[in-house]
Amino acid sequence: MTGTDEGPEPVDDAEPVDDAEPVDDAEFSDDAEFSDDDVVEGEVVDEEQESAELVGEDLEDAVTIAERERDEYLDTLRRVQADFENYRKRVQRQQEELVERAAERLVAGLLPVLDALDQAEALLVGDEEASPAGLLQAVSLLRDVLAKEGLARVAEVGDAFDPNAHDAVDHSETEEGEESEGPVVEAVLRPGYVWKGRVVRPAMVKVHG
Protein backbone atom coordinates (compact mmCIF):
# COMPACT_ATOMS: atom_id res chain seq x y z
CA MET A 1 0.00 0.00 0.00
CA THR A 2 1.06 3.59 -0.66
CA GLY A 3 0.92 6.40 1.67
CA THR A 4 -2.15 7.80 0.11
CA ASP A 5 -5.27 5.80 -0.70
CA GLU A 6 -6.67 6.61 -4.14
CA GLY A 7 -10.26 5.76 -4.59
CA PRO A 8 -11.92 4.94 -7.89
CA GLU A 9 -12.27 7.72 -10.38
CA PRO A 10 -15.68 9.23 -10.38
CA VAL A 11 -17.84 8.24 -13.36
CA ASP A 12 -19.84 10.90 -15.10
CA ASP A 13 -23.53 10.33 -15.10
CA ALA A 14 -24.69 8.91 -18.49
CA GLU A 15 -26.56 11.37 -20.57
CA PRO A 16 -29.95 10.20 -21.75
CA VAL A 17 -30.19 9.41 -25.48
CA ASP A 18 -32.89 11.64 -26.87
CA ASP A 19 -32.46 10.61 -30.54
CA ALA A 20 -33.45 6.93 -30.12
CA GLU A 21 -36.75 6.04 -31.81
CA PRO A 22 -39.35 4.64 -29.50
CA VAL A 23 -40.14 1.02 -30.01
CA ASP A 24 -43.76 0.26 -30.68
CA ASP A 25 -44.63 -2.80 -28.68
CA ALA A 26 -47.70 -3.29 -30.83
CA GLU A 27 -45.50 -4.52 -33.70
CA PHE A 28 -44.48 -7.49 -31.62
CA SER A 29 -47.76 -7.99 -29.87
CA ASP A 30 -49.65 -11.24 -30.39
CA ASP A 31 -52.77 -9.17 -31.05
CA ALA A 32 -51.18 -7.33 -33.97
CA GLU A 33 -53.36 -7.38 -37.12
CA PHE A 34 -51.98 -8.08 -40.61
CA SER A 35 -53.85 -7.42 -43.85
CA ASP A 36 -54.57 -10.25 -46.27
CA ASP A 37 -52.69 -8.37 -48.97
CA ASP A 38 -49.54 -8.42 -46.85
CA VAL A 39 -49.81 -12.11 -46.07
CA VAL A 40 -51.17 -13.87 -49.19
CA GLU A 41 -50.78 -11.34 -51.98
CA GLY A 42 -48.60 -13.69 -54.04
CA GLU A 43 -50.95 -16.64 -53.55
CA VAL A 44 -54.03 -14.62 -54.59
CA VAL A 45 -52.29 -13.45 -57.78
CA ASP A 46 -51.27 -17.01 -58.62
CA GLU A 47 -54.81 -18.29 -58.08
CA GLU A 48 -56.24 -15.53 -60.27
CA GLN A 49 -53.77 -16.36 -63.03
CA GLU A 50 -54.58 -20.06 -62.81
CA SER A 51 -58.30 -19.30 -62.83
CA ALA A 52 -57.90 -17.04 -65.87
CA GLU A 53 -55.86 -19.69 -67.66
CA LEU A 54 -58.50 -22.33 -66.93
CA VAL A 55 -61.26 -20.04 -68.20
CA GLY A 56 -59.20 -19.29 -71.30
CA GLU A 57 -58.63 -22.99 -71.98
CA ASP A 58 -62.31 -23.78 -71.48
CA LEU A 59 -63.23 -20.95 -73.84
CA GLU A 60 -60.78 -22.19 -76.49
CA ASP A 61 -62.14 -25.72 -76.16
CA ALA A 62 -65.70 -24.46 -76.51
CA VAL A 63 -64.78 -22.44 -79.62
CA THR A 64 -63.00 -25.43 -81.15
CA ILE A 65 -65.99 -27.69 -80.52
CA ALA A 66 -68.38 -25.10 -81.94
CA GLU A 67 -66.26 -24.67 -85.08
CA ARG A 68 -66.04 -28.43 -85.58
CA GLU A 69 -69.80 -28.84 -85.19
CA ARG A 70 -70.34 -25.93 -87.59
CA ASP A 71 -68.12 -27.56 -90.21
CA GLU A 72 -69.91 -30.90 -89.77
CA TYR A 73 -73.31 -29.24 -90.20
CA LEU A 74 -72.10 -27.39 -93.30
CA ASP A 75 -70.73 -30.59 -94.82
CA THR A 76 -73.99 -32.39 -94.11
CA LEU A 77 -75.97 -29.52 -95.63
CA ARG A 78 -73.80 -29.54 -98.76
CA ARG A 79 -74.23 -33.29 -99.18
CA VAL A 80 -77.99 -33.05 -98.72
CA GLN A 81 -78.15 -30.17 -101.19
CA ALA A 82 -76.05 -32.09 -103.74
CA ASP A 83 -78.17 -35.22 -103.30
CA PHE A 84 -81.35 -33.21 -103.78
CA GLU A 85 -79.96 -31.51 -106.89
CA ASN A 86 -78.98 -34.87 -108.37
CA TYR A 87 -82.41 -36.26 -107.53
CA ARG A 88 -84.12 -33.28 -109.15
CA LYS A 89 -82.06 -33.64 -112.32
CA ARG A 90 -82.67 -37.38 -112.43
CA VAL A 91 -86.44 -36.95 -112.06
CA GLN A 92 -86.47 -34.22 -114.70
CA ARG A 93 -84.48 -36.40 -117.07
CA GLN A 94 -86.84 -39.34 -116.48
CA GLN A 95 -89.85 -37.13 -117.18
CA GLU A 96 -88.30 -35.88 -120.41
CA GLU A 97 -87.54 -39.44 -121.44
CA LEU A 98 -91.13 -40.50 -120.74
CA VAL A 99 -92.44 -37.64 -122.86
CA GLU A 100 -90.06 -38.50 -125.67
CA ARG A 101 -90.99 -42.18 -125.48
CA ALA A 102 -94.67 -41.32 -125.68
CA ALA A 103 -94.08 -39.08 -128.67
CA GLU A 104 -91.90 -41.74 -130.26
CA ARG A 105 -94.73 -44.28 -130.00
CA LEU A 106 -97.07 -41.77 -131.62
CA VAL A 107 -94.63 -41.19 -134.45
CA ALA A 108 -94.15 -44.93 -134.94
CA GLY A 109 -97.92 -45.30 -135.23
CA LEU A 110 -98.04 -42.57 -137.91
CA LEU A 111 -95.35 -44.08 -140.08
CA PRO A 112 -97.69 -46.46 -141.95
CA VAL A 113 -99.87 -43.44 -142.75
CA LEU A 114 -96.85 -41.64 -144.07
CA ASP A 115 -95.92 -44.70 -146.14
CA ALA A 116 -99.38 -44.77 -147.71
CA LEU A 117 -99.12 -41.10 -148.54
CA ASP A 118 -95.71 -41.64 -150.10
CA GLN A 119 -97.09 -44.39 -152.31
CA ALA A 120 -100.05 -42.26 -153.33
CA GLU A 121 -97.73 -39.40 -154.10
CA ALA A 122 -95.58 -41.63 -156.29
CA LEU A 123 -98.63 -42.79 -158.26
CA LEU A 124 -100.11 -39.36 -158.78
CA VAL A 125 -97.01 -37.41 -159.70
CA GLY A 126 -96.83 -38.84 -163.22
CA ASP A 127 -100.58 -38.87 -163.88
CA GLU A 128 -101.55 -35.79 -165.84
CA GLU A 129 -105.28 -36.45 -165.51
CA ALA A 130 -105.20 -36.66 -161.71
CA SER A 131 -105.08 -33.61 -159.53
CA PRO A 132 -102.68 -34.49 -156.73
CA ALA A 133 -102.32 -30.94 -155.39
CA GLY A 134 -104.34 -31.56 -152.21
CA LEU A 135 -102.68 -34.90 -151.48
CA LEU A 136 -99.21 -33.54 -152.08
CA GLN A 137 -99.91 -30.63 -149.78
CA ALA A 138 -101.09 -33.01 -147.06
CA VAL A 139 -97.94 -35.11 -147.42
CA SER A 140 -95.76 -32.01 -147.22
CA LEU A 141 -97.57 -30.70 -144.14
CA LEU A 142 -97.33 -34.02 -142.34
CA ARG A 143 -93.62 -34.28 -143.07
CA ASP A 144 -93.00 -30.74 -141.87
CA VAL A 145 -94.88 -31.28 -138.60
CA LEU A 146 -93.06 -34.49 -137.82
CA ALA A 147 -89.71 -32.99 -138.81
CA LYS A 148 -90.20 -30.08 -136.40
CA GLU A 149 -90.87 -32.57 -133.60
CA GLY A 150 -87.61 -34.40 -134.28
CA LEU A 151 -88.39 -36.94 -137.02
CA ALA A 152 -85.75 -37.31 -139.71
CA ARG A 153 -85.86 -39.52 -142.77
CA VAL A 154 -82.85 -41.74 -143.43
CA ALA A 155 -81.57 -43.67 -146.43
CA GLU A 156 -81.23 -41.94 -149.75
CA VAL A 157 -79.81 -43.46 -152.91
CA GLY A 158 -76.04 -43.13 -152.86
CA ASP A 159 -75.72 -43.01 -149.06
CA ALA A 160 -73.07 -45.19 -147.45
CA PHE A 161 -74.57 -48.33 -146.00
CA ASP A 162 -75.10 -48.04 -142.23
CA PRO A 163 -76.13 -51.31 -140.54
CA ASN A 164 -77.54 -49.31 -137.61
CA ALA A 165 -80.00 -47.39 -139.79
CA HIS A 166 -80.32 -49.61 -142.88
CA ASP A 167 -81.80 -53.03 -143.32
CA ALA A 168 -80.27 -54.59 -146.43
CA VAL A 169 -82.73 -56.94 -148.12
CA ASP A 170 -80.81 -57.23 -151.38
CA HIS A 171 -77.17 -56.94 -152.33
CA SER A 172 -75.36 -56.67 -155.66
CA GLU A 173 -71.63 -57.21 -156.08
CA THR A 174 -69.26 -54.69 -157.54
CA GLU A 175 -68.42 -55.44 -161.16
CA GLU A 176 -64.84 -56.03 -162.23
CA GLY A 177 -62.99 -52.77 -162.79
CA GLU A 178 -65.61 -50.76 -160.94
CA GLU A 179 -64.21 -48.61 -158.14
CA SER A 180 -66.01 -48.67 -154.84
CA GLU A 181 -65.18 -47.24 -151.42
CA GLY A 182 -67.69 -49.54 -149.75
CA PRO A 183 -71.30 -50.67 -149.95
CA VAL A 184 -73.78 -47.93 -150.79
CA VAL A 185 -77.55 -47.69 -150.96
CA GLU A 186 -78.61 -48.58 -154.50
CA ALA A 187 -82.35 -48.36 -153.97
CA VAL A 188 -84.68 -47.46 -151.08
CA LEU A 189 -87.52 -49.97 -150.83
CA ARG A 190 -88.95 -48.37 -147.68
CA PRO A 191 -87.61 -45.25 -146.00
CA GLY A 192 -86.30 -45.33 -142.46
CA TYR A 193 -86.82 -42.75 -139.76
CA VAL A 194 -84.85 -41.46 -136.79
CA TRP A 195 -86.58 -39.78 -133.85
CA LYS A 196 -84.32 -37.36 -131.97
CA GLY A 197 -81.24 -39.41 -132.69
CA ARG A 198 -82.83 -42.83 -132.07
CA VAL A 199 -83.70 -45.13 -134.93
CA VAL A 200 -87.46 -45.63 -134.91
CA ARG A 201 -87.44 -47.82 -137.99
CA PRO A 202 -84.46 -48.84 -140.14
CA ALA A 203 -84.71 -48.23 -143.84
CA MET A 204 -85.28 -51.19 -146.12
CA VAL A 205 -82.68 -50.86 -148.85
CA LYS A 206 -80.86 -52.57 -151.67
CA VAL A 207 -77.09 -52.37 -151.31
CA HIS A 208 -74.46 -52.29 -154.02
CA GLY A 209 -70.77 -52.97 -153.51
The structure's pTM equals 0.47
Q: DSSP letter for 154, please.
A: E
pLDDT in tens, the chain (209 residues): 444 455 555 545 545 545 445 545 545 444 445 455 544 455 555 666 666 666 667 777 788 888 888 888 988 989 998 998 898 899 888 888 888 888 788 788 888 888 888 877 777 776 666 666 767 777 788 888 888 888 898 888 888 889 899 998 988 887 766 666 788 898 999 889 998 888 989 999 999 87
Q: What are phi and psi of 154, to 5 degrees?
A: -120, 160
Q: DSSP letter for 160, please.
A: B
Amino acid at 49: Q
H/E element holding 111?
helix 36-125
Q: DSSP letter for 198, please.
A: E
CB 195 within 8 A of CB 153: no
CATH architecture of 150-209: Roll (2.30)
For the chain, how are helix, strand and coil distributed in percent, rounded to 5?
A: 55, 15, 30
CB 186 within 8 A of CB 207: yes
Q: How far apart are the first and last CA of the chain?
A: 177
CB 140 within 8 A of CB 120: no
Query: How is the chain split into domains, by residue range?
Result: 150-209
Q: How many residues does the chain have?
A: 209
DSSP string, 88-109: HHHHHHHHHHHHHHHHHHHHHH
β-partners of residue 153 are: 193
